Amino acid sequence: MFFKTRRKSTASPRIRLLELAVATRYAVSRLSLIASRLRSTYERTRDESLKTMLQKILYLQAVLEIASVRLETLADIGLVSSDDLSILKRVVSDLKNTQGIVMPAVSSMLTDLDNMISHIASSAGIELAPLSPVVTEHAKKIMEEAKIIADERLKEYFPSENTS
């Protein structure tokens, strides 16, 4: 579980967005530790399955970094909209369904983030939009950007190898 807050349930949506951003940053830092361990183990063993897992972890990390920046921006603006929360929920749900099988701890982190998004929406009286084309398109853009970032990081980790 991420952070247990002792705030009143009347915390503003802005505060809740900041809490979610902090939880997302925490998940990114945990993934960074996992990535570091995988990298060092791969460098010792050259086991390709470790490199594949590292690539998945780097991808998850990049997606959550993008989500965190988006959350911080929304909190700074003080705007909580159905579309923005729906996009983030879609991204986290997609990650949980596709990447959550990497490790149980990763699945748990993603479930916690998903629950926090739902809680923010319900406490702000926002109904999350169904899978609209706008939500789907924005979620795809986030995922594509994260894929590019993850590939670049993998190339930086192993510059002498072909990382296609």
Per-residue model confidence as pLDDT tens digits over 97-121: 887 676 777 888 899 999 998 888 8
Give the domain range for residue 97.
13-157
Structural domain contains residue 85: yes
Per-residue model confidence as pLDDT tens digits over 7-24: 445 677 788 888 999 999
Q: Within 10 A of 19 (CB to CB), how many other CB atoms are there?
A: 20
Picking from 163, 147, 143, 144, the residue whose alpha carbon sits closest to that of residue 155 is 163
What is the reported pLDDT for 4? 53
Structural domain contains residue 163: no
Dist. CA 21–CA 67, nearest whole Å:
8
Structural domain contains residue 1: no
Domain count, the chain: 1
Structural domain contains residue 60: yes
Structural domain contains residue 59: yes
